[in-house]
Structures are given as C-alpha cells and as structure tokens.
Structure 1
Amino acid sequence: MLTPTSTALPPDFDSRHFRHALSQFATGITVITTRLNEQKFLGLTASSFNSVSLDPPLVIWSLGDRAQSMPIFTQNTHYVINVLAADQRHLAEQFASRIEDRFAGVEYSLSRTGLPILKGASAWFECFNRSRYPEGDHVIFVGEVEQCAFKNQAPLVYHHGQFLTSKAL
C-alpha cells in the first residue's frame, strides 16, 4: 500500500507514452484569434479548450510557454475562441502551420472588440483575458466570455492523432 505524500511522485513513464495515452481522449479543435497590430491578426490552432464556470462564464485554453505568440496573447485584453466545424479541417491545418499570413484566404467577421470570428465555426466565444497561470511547459489562459454564438452542426474532433467528425467516433 502506498503512503500518501505531500508532493507528486516521479512519473513511471516517458513523454512518448504519456502523449499516446493523452491521444485516447477525443478533443474539439479551436482556432484562437487576436490582434497582432493595427493591420494584422494572429491566430493559432489549439485543442486544449474547456469550460470552467457558468457564473461567471469562464473558459480555459493553454499555450506552450515557448510559443512565439505568447507575448501577444499575454498582453492583449481580448481573444476569440473559434470552435471548428467538421468541414473546417483545412483551417485547423492552416492555423497550425508556420506560414506567415495564416489568415490568407480565410473568411471572417469582426467581433465587437474588432477580432476575427471565423466564418462557419461551430461556435465562438469572445473573451476578456482574465488571468494566466504558468504550469509545467504551458500557460493556462482563463477567459471571461463576454459574447458567444453557436450553430447546431458537427464539430471537428481530434482523436488518436487524426482529425475526425463527431459522427466517426
């Protein structure tokens, strides 16, 4: 029998094993958007998104602490979390790529704070950048939702290293 400790025990697995175990959990795919400067937007693909609270309405997502976009997301007051629909795999791949203009050819409208809401998204959440918490090799962002909308359509899902529609699960 293991005696409880006041700190975590060291893991009995390597990072590859951990990654494979995590891939068993199906996640939705989002594109987080914000403003880079007056003329340009910034967007990135993220699967680390979840709800936290209904009152107040809070959501979380995380970003690797070495991401080049970290200073922008840390300093900006707002961002939009776009939940991708099943037919938007191309957007997940485009916003995960290293191309310079990830918004090239992307249709969007602007939120009330002037940030991109991707056309055809299954849902979107305009968030005030409420707080950030460094944990491990990521920073957890807590967003206070100021506005949101949704459509009743199948979302894009990532499971076991593959993009799927929710109907394929």
Structure 2
Amino acid sequence: MHSWGVLTETISPDLFRATLSRWVSGVTVVTTTDAQGQSHGFTASAFSSVSLDPALVLVCLDNRANCFEAFDNSEGFVVHLLRRGQEELAGRFASKGADKFAGTQPEWSPSGLPLLPGALARLECRTERRIPGGDHLILLGEVHHAEEGEGEPLVYYRRGFHGLDGGAQSLT
C-alpha cells in the first residue's frame, strides 16, 4: 500500500494550464437567455456527461466571464457540440466583449433558449444545480431534449482547434 503523506505543494497556474493543454477535448458553445430575454453564450471545453438516469451533463464557466450572471440565474441552457468548420464560432464565443451572436441566425427552443445552427449535436438542459468550483462555476444540467447530426467533431488540443485527422486550425 502506497502512502501519499500530506500533499502540501501547489502547482503553478502556468504549469497546470500547459499540462492540461495535452488533454484533447471536444469543443462546445453553451447558450442561454437572461431575465430580459437577451442571448448569452460561451465556449466551453470543460464539458462532460455525468449520469444516464437521469440524463445529466456538466459544463464549467469562468467566474469572470461577461455572461456569468446570466448563467448563474438561468433556468436552462443549451450545449452545442461543434463540428469541424466551426472554429470561427468557437473563437467568437471564447472572446470577451465580442458580439457573440453576430452573423448567426439562432433558432429558438420551445423553452426560449437560443439554438445555434450547424452544430454536430445539441443538448437542451434544465439547470439542476450550480456548484462553486474554484475560479469556475459548475453548471449541472438535466437534459430534456437532444439532437444529433452528422460530421466530424471539432476538438481542442495544445491551444488549437483540430479535426480528428490532426489538422490544426489557429484561433487567429
């Protein structure tokens, strides 16, 4: 049996970020509306399924994000799994201060949430719980509707967008 002892050292944010850049993740854009009906969204690579019964997913949102308040108070959100070719959309939703919905023609879910066209898949969720997680807010959502499409997923690896064939696409 191995004993870890007491772990007292902390890792630097730069080393942590560099190490995690070696993790391949799918790219999602998460959308919601605020109490005034204005659309908000962000790009999230921190997304995961949690449970099949009930169907639960989680996404993580930076506490400093401009859209934080909208998501912290929303009753629901939509996770869009992006496909290859949507790098510009992912970059725009990752930018601070950008008009995130510029040039898009969102559709609307029956519950009034913005749906971005062209996603590989979409999951419409009711916000089940909000969990503080360091400098992020973890949103746990119960999936009430899902749509799937065809195509190749967009993935993020070593600070760049890629397809499954490994071809890199720059954010700039």
Do the structures match in fold with TM over 0.5? yes
Which amino acid in the other structure matches residue 63 of structure 2?
Answer: D
Q: Secondary structure at the match of 1:130?
A: strand
What SS does the corresponding residue of 2:165 show, helix, strand or coil?
helix
CA contact (8 A) 2:66 2:96 kept: no
Distance 1:62 1:121 in 2: 19
Counterpart in the other structure of 2:147: 149
Structure 1 runs (4+) greater than 6 angstroms displaced? none
Measure, in 1, the Cα distance between the counterparts of 2:88 and 2:4.
Answer: 47
Unaligned runs of 5+ in 2: 168-172
The answer to which of 80-89 and 29-38 deviates more is: 29-38
Matching of residues 66-105 of structure 1 within 5 Å: 66-105=64-103
1:100/1:162 CA distance change after superposition, 3 Å: closer
Distance 2:90 2:20 in 1: 19
Contact 2:28–2:80 under 8 Å retained in 1: yes
Contact residue 59 and residue 143 of structure 1 kept, 8 A: yes
Q: Please give the alpha-carbon distance, in whole angstroms, between the structure 1 residues aligned to 2:90 and 2:156.
A: 10
Mapped contact 1:154–1:167 kept (Cα < 8 A): no
CA distance in 1, matches of 2:151, 2:139: 26
- Count of matched residue positions in the alignment of Structure 1 and Structure 2: 167
1:9 aligned to 2:12?
Answer: no
Q: CA deviation at 1:144?
A: 0.3
Q: Percent identity?
A: 38
Amino acid in structure 1 at the alignment position of 2:18:
H
- Say whether the 8 Å CA contact 1:127–1:147 is kept in structure 2: yes
The equivalent of 2:170 in structure 1 is none
Question: TM-score normalized by structure 1?
Answer: 0.90
Name the stretch that deviates more: 44-53 or 33-42: 33-42
Aligned with 1:167: secondary structure?
Answer: coil
Alignment gaps of 5+ in structure 1: none
Higher mean C-alpha displacement, 135-144 vs 54-63:
135-144
Report if aligned partners of 2:29, 2:80 keep a CA contact under 8 Å in 1.
yes
1:66 Cα deviation from its structure 2 partner: 2.5
Aligned residue for 1:146, secondary structure, equals strand
Q: Is the 8 A contact 1:34 1:42 kept in 2?
A: yes
2:58 and 2:97 map into 1 onto residues whose CA distance is: 26
